[in-house]
Amino acid sequence: MAQVLDGKATADRLLEEVRLGVEARGAKGLRPPCLAVVLVGEDPASQVYVRGKVRACAQTGVRSREHFPPSAITQAELEDLIDRLNADDGVDGILVQLPLPKHLDPKAALHRISPAKDVDGFHPLNQGFLFEGLPGLRPCTPSAVMRMLDIYGIELKGARAVVLGRSEIVGKPMALMLLERHATVTIAHSRTKDLPGLCREADLLVAAIGKPGLVEGSWIRPGATVVDVGINRVEDPALAARIFPAEPRKLEQLAAKGSVLCGDVRYGEALDVAGAVTPVPGGVGPLTIAGLLLNTLQACEARGV
Ligand code: NAP
Tell me the per-residue pLDDT of 119-169, one tens digit each, with 9 for 90 and over: 999 999 999 999 999 999 999 999 999 999 999 999 999 999 999 999 999
**How many whole angstroms separate alpha carbon 125 and alpha carbon 132?**
11
Between the two ends of the chain, the Cα-to-Cα distance in Å is 48
**What pLDDT is stored for residue 246 in this prediction?**
82
Catalytic choice (6, 92, 118, 120): 120
- Ligand 1 pocket, residue 279 CB under 6 Å: no
Question: Residues 188, 227: contact at Cβ < 8 Å?
Answer: no
Q: How far apart are CA 268 and CA 253, in angstroms?
A: 15
Under DSSP, is residue 10 helix (H, G, I), strand (E, B) or coil? Answer: helix
Whether residue 295 has its Cβ less than 6 Å from ligand 1:
no
Closest CA to 142 of 171, 166, 118: 171
Instruction: Please tell me the predicted confidence (pLDDT) of residue 154.
Output: 98
Q: What is the pTM of this model?
A: 0.97
- pLDDT tens per residue, the chain (305 residues)? 999 999 999 999 999 999 999 999 999 999 999 999 999 999 999 999 999 999 999 999 999 999 999 999 999 999 999 999 999 999 999 999 999 999 999 999 999 999 999 999 999 999 999 999 999 999 999 999 999 999 999 999 999 999 999 999 999 999 999 999 999 999 999 999 999 999 999 999 999 999 999 999 999 999 999 999 999 999 999 999 999 888 889 999 999 999 999 999 999 999 999 999 999 999 999 999 999 999 999 999 999 99
The pick from 14, 53, 167, 198 for probing ligand 1's pocket by mutation, whose C-beta has the most ligand atoms within 8 angstroms, reads: 167
Ligand 1: which of 53, 107, 209, 267 to mutate, judged by most atoms within 8 Å of the beta carbon? Answer: 209
Report the pLDDT value the prediction gives residue 245, as an integer from 0 to 100: 86
Decide: 211 in ligand 1 pocket, CB within 6 A.
yes
Q: What are phi and psi of 49, to 5 degrees?
A: -60, -45
CA gap 289, 55 in Å, rounded? 10
Q: Is 53 a catalytic residue?
A: yes
Residues 6+ apart with CB under 8 A from 40: 68, 69, 70, 71, 73, 78, 96, 97, 100, 101, 104
Q: Is the CB of 115 under 6 A from ligand 1?
A: no
Q: In this structure, are residues 91 and 62 in contact, taking their beta carbons and an 8 Å threshold? A: no
Is position 120 annotated as part of the catalytic site?
Answer: yes
Ligand 1 pocket residue status of 305, Cβ below 6 Å: no
